[in-house]
A and B are shown apart, each in its own frame.
Chain A
Amino acid sequence: MPEGTVCNKKTIDTKEQLDALLADKSGKVYYEEMKSLDVNVDMLKTALKNTLRSRLKTWLEMCAHCGLCADSCFLYLVNKRDPKQVPSYKIQSTLGALVKKVQKGEEITNEFMHYCMDTAWSKCTCCNRCGSYCPYGIDMGIMFGYLRGLLFAQGFVPWELKIGSGMHRVFRAQMDVTNEDWVETCEWMEEEQQDEWPDLKIPVDKEGADIMYTVNAREPKHYPEDIAEAAILFHIAGENWTMPSTGWEQTSLSMFAGDWGACKMQVETVYEAIDRLKPKRAMGTECGHAHRATVVEGPYWVGRKNGQPPVEYIHYVQWVAEALREGKIKIDPDKRIQEPVTYQDSCNYIRNHGMADIVREIMGYMVAPGYFVEMTPNREHNYCCGGGGGFNGMGKYRPQRNVALKCKRDQILATGCKLVVSPCHNCWDAIRDLEEEYEIGIRWSFLKPLLIKMAIIPEHLKPKDE
C-alpha cells in the first residue's frame, strides 16, 4: 500500500480530510500507514533541482567536519554529548545523504525517510543558534527547515503537524476557530470587562487605526483572557487600535510542518487585512514564531521582493517598550517585581528580530532594581526553550522533548529565580511543561498580566461609583 488513507502525500484542504485525520487518535493508523509509504523519487529530484541552490549546496559540500558546532546545540549538550546530535552529523546524515542518493540514483528507503523525519523534527528545533558558531555560518535551522519541506511533500511529517498545516488550509488558523467564532470571542471579552473597564472597546475592522493587532489562534480558543488583557493595556495606553475580522491569526504551524503552500495562504490573509484596514502599523501578540512567520519569513512566502510586510509590523515587546518609554503606560514603583526574576529570550524574536536590548529595557521598568537575573548564556546566545520548531506539540517525540527541556530547567535553576518572564507562547508552554515534568517550583508569565497588575490606572478609566 504505497499511499495510505490518512498518511499520504496529499495536503489537507477540506474539513472532511481534516476530520478523518483527527478521528485517527494519536495518529495510530497514520504512523502505521507511513511504514509503507513510497518515496516519489522524481518529485524529489525536481524539488532539489528547483530549490537546492548555491547557499545550501555550499553548506553541504564545504562543511569542514570540524565539530565546532557541537557545543552550540543545546540538544547535543542535553543528550549527554551524543555524537549523533552534532549539528553537522544530523544534517549530513539526512539532507546530505538524501542529495547524494538522488544524485547517484541510489534507493531511498522508507527507513531512511523515517530517520530523516525523526531527525528533522526531534533533533533540531530550528533555533538558528549553531549558525553563529560555525566558521562558515552553516545554519542547521535553515537547512532542517528546508528538509522539512521536502519531507512534508513526501508525506513524511508528524501527525500533529499535518493536522496543523491542514487547519491553516481549511480555517486559516492553527486551530478550528472560524472568523465568526473569533469575532464573537472579541465581543464576549469586551462585554466581560465592562464592570471593571466601563468604556473598554475591542474595535473590529476599524479602518485607518494606528495599530492593527493580530493574535495566536489559541488565544480565542483556549485563553480568551489574553485578548482581554491586550485590550485593557491598549485602553490604558489610549491607543487607537483594531483587530481584523479575517486575517487575525498570525501563527504558522505550517512553518513547523514545512508546508510552504499553507504558509503562504496564512500570511496572505493577514496582509489582505492590512490592505483592507490600512492601519499605520501592525503588531502581533507575544508569540515568537507567529512573529517569525508573519513578519520575518512571510514576506518571502508571498513574494514581496523588499522582504517587508505591507506596513511596519512590530512585535508586542516593541510596543510595550515604546508605551513605557513614552509614559503611555506608567508603572507603580511599589508594584514592580520585587523578587529574583529571569527572562526567557525567545529565538524567534531575539536572534531573528534583534529584540534583546528592548526586552531588557522593559525589565528595567517592571523589575525593582537588583532583582533581575540573567540566564547564562543569554540574549542572542540563549538556548532554545526546548519546545521550539513544533517540538512541544508532537506526541511521537514527547520523550525527546522532555529531555530537551532539561537545558532550560538547568539554566533557570542556576539563576535561583522562582519567576520567569516569558513573552512567547512556545517558550511559555515549554516552561509550563518543564515545571510539570521536573517540579522545580517556578512560576512563569507573559508580559500582559504582569503589566496590568503594576500599571497606574488613570482616574478617568476607573469605574464610577454610582
Chain B
Amino acid sequence: MYELLTGPLLWLSAAICVVGLLYRIVTYIMGLHWQLDRVAYGANPGRGLKGAALSILAWLIPFGCRNWRVKPGFMLMFFGFHIGLVAVPLFLAGHAVLLKEGLGINWPAMSMGMADALTIIMLVSACFIIGRRILLPEVRIITDFKDWMVLAITVAPFLTGFMAVHEVGESYRFWLLAHIITGEIMLVAIPFTKLFHVVGFFLSRGQLGMDFGIKRGGARKNFAW
C-alpha cells in the first residue's frame, strides 16, 4: 500500500498536476485574442511585459498594492497561508528524501522547526479564511460548495501531515497514509479546480497588467494596476 502510494501513484498524480497546468497555460495564452480582449499584445510586447511584471510583483510583495495597504489583516492571512502552502511541501525534509530516492536529486530541505512553524501559521490562517467565509456577509454571499471543497482539499494534507509528524493520537501509520492520499488528491485537483490559480494568478494578473500597460493608463505612467 505504502509503496504503491509513494511510488506509481505519487508520480502519476504529480504528472497529472504538471501536465494539467501546462495545458492550462497553453490554452489560456492561445485563447487570448487582441481584438476581442481589445489589447494589442503583439504590437507592444515591451510595454505589455512591463505592465504584467509590475502588476504581479505588486501583489507578491507585502504592502505592494493598495489593497494590501488598506487591508493589512487580510494581507497577513494571505501570506501566512500561502507561504506555508508553497514552502512546506517543497522543502520538507521528508519530501526531499522521496525526491532523493525517486529521482536521485539532492533537494534542499528546511528544518523541522521551521516546517512546523509555517504549517501552524498556515493552519491558523485557514481558520481565519473559514471564519471570514462564515461571518462576513460580503464573503458569505459568494461562497459556494466548491469553495469549501477546495479549502478542504488544500488544508487536509497539512493537517494530516502535522498529525503524522507529531504522532498525534494512536496511529502514525494512519495519519501518514491519510497524508499521502490527501496530498495526491490535492495534486490531481490543482489543474481541475480553482487551485489552478497557482499558474492562473500569474496569467490573469499579468494579463490585466498588460491590458493597462499596453492600452490604458499604464501606457503613460508606471502604476501597478
B66 touches A133 (CB 8 A): yes
Asked if A9 is at the interface of the complex by the 8 Å CB criterion, the answer is no
A65 touches B205 (CB 8 A): no
B74 touches A92 (CB 8 A): no
Asked if A84 is at the interface of the complex by the 8 Å CB criterion, the answer is yes
A95 to chain B: closest CB distance in Å?
14
Inter-chain CA distance A88–B147, complex, in Å, is 14
B40 to chain A: closest CB distance in Å?
3
A381 touches B66 (CB 8 A): yes
Pick the contact of A65: B139, B207, B223, B224 (CB < 8 A): B139
B138 touches A81 (CB 8 A): yes
CB within 8 Å of B: which A55-82 residues: 55, 57-59, 61-68, 70-72, 76, 81
Across-interface contacts of A396 in B (CB, < 8 A): none
Across-interface contacts of A352 in B (CB, < 8 A): 216-217
CB within 8 Å of A: which B10-33 residues: 27-33
A354 touches B214 (CB 8 A): no
B44 touches A307 (CB 8 A): yes
Across-interface contacts of B29 in A (CB, < 8 A): 54
Contact-residue bracket for chain B: 35 or more
B40 touches A67 (CB 8 A): no
CB within 8 Å of B: which A200-236 residues: none
A145 to chain B: closest CB distance in Å?
9
Across-interface contacts of B142 in A (CB, < 8 A): 63, 65, 67, 86, 88-89, 92
Across-interface contacts of A88 in B (CB, < 8 A): 142
B204 touches A58 (CB 8 A): yes
Stretch at the interface among B85-93, B164-172, B192-200: B192-200
CB within 8 Å of A: which B21-56 residues: 27-40, 42-44, 55
Residue of A nearest to B143 (CB): A65
Across-interface contacts of B205 in A (CB, < 8 A): 135-137
Inter-chain CA distance A423–B66, complex, in Å, is 26
A296 touches B216 (CB 8 A): yes
B165 to chain A: closest CB distance in Å?
29
A73 to chain B: closest CB distance in Å?
10
Asked if A356 is at the interface of the complex by the 8 Å CB criterion, the answer is yes
Inter-chain CA distance A135–B200, complex, in Å, is 11
Pick the contact of B38: A89, A137, A297 (CB < 8 A): A297
A309 to chain B: closest CB distance in Å?
11
Across-interface contacts of A132 in B (CB, < 8 A): 65-67, 224-225
A302 to chain B: closest CB distance in Å?
10
A354 touches B207 (CB 8 A): no
B218 touches A354 (CB 8 A): yes
Across-interface contacts of B204 in A (CB, < 8 A): 55, 58-59, 62, 136-138
Contact with B along A358-377 (1 / 0, CB 8 A): 00000000000000000000
Inter-chain CA distance A40–B31, complex, in Å, is 26
Q: A83-B141, A296-B215 are in contact. List 19 more A-B contacts (CB 8 A).
A: A53-B36, A64-B194, A67-B132, A67-B136, A70-B138, A88-B142, A92-B142, A135-B205, A136-B204, A137-B207, A138-B204, A306-B44, A307-B39, A307-B43, A307-B215, A353-B216, A354-B218, A354-B223, A380-B225
Asked if B156 is at the interface of the complex by the 8 Å CB criterion, the answer is no
B65 touches A61 (CB 8 A): no
B32 touches A300 (CB 8 A): no
B residues near A (Cβ < 8 Å) are 27-40, 42-44, 55, 59, 65-67, 70-71, 74, 78, 132, 136-144, 147, 194, 196-197, 200-201, 203-205, 207-209, 211, 214-221, 223-225
B34 touches A305 (CB 8 A): yes
A-B pairs with beta carbons under 8 Å apart, 19 shown: A53-B33, A54-B27, A63-B194, A65-B142, A66-B139, A72-B67, A86-B138, A133-B66, A135-B205, A136-B197, A137-B55, A137-B205, A139-B211, A300-B35, A308-B43, A353-B217, A356-B217, A356-B221, A380-B225
B200 touches A62 (CB 8 A): yes
B66 touches A136 (CB 8 A): no
Known contacts A55-B32, A59-B204, A137-B209; decide if A67 and B220 are in contact (CB<8 Å): no
A351 touches B216 (CB 8 A): yes
Mostly helix, strand, loop or mixed at chain B's interface? helix
Across-interface contacts of A308 in B (CB, < 8 A): 40, 43
B220 touches A355 (CB 8 A): yes
Residue of A nearest to B59 (CB): A135
A380 touches B217 (CB 8 A): yes
Asked if A399 is at the interface of the complex by the 8 Å CB criterion, the answer is no
A307 touches B40 (CB 8 A): yes
Inter-chain CA distance A401–B142, complex, in Å, is 25
Inter-chain CA distance A40–B205, complex, in Å, is 34
Pick the contact of B31: A55, A89, A138 (CB < 8 A): A55
Across-interface contacts of A103 in B (CB, < 8 A): none
Asked if A46 is at the interface of the complex by the 8 Å CB criterion, the answer is no
Asked if A303 is at the interface of the complex by the 8 Å CB criterion, the answer is yes
Across-interface contacts of B34 in A (CB, < 8 A): 300, 305, 307
Asked if A4 is at the interface of the complex by the 8 Å CB criterion, the answer is no
A424 to chain B: closest CB distance in Å?
15
Inter-chain CA distance A303–B36, complex, in Å, is 10
Known contacts A354-B217, A380-B217; decide if A54 and B30 are in contact (CB<8 Å): yes
Pick the contact of B223: A62, A71, A380 (CB < 8 A): A380
Residue of A nearest to B215 (CB): A307
Across-interface contacts of B27 in A (CB, < 8 A): 54
B79 to chain A: closest CB distance in Å?
12
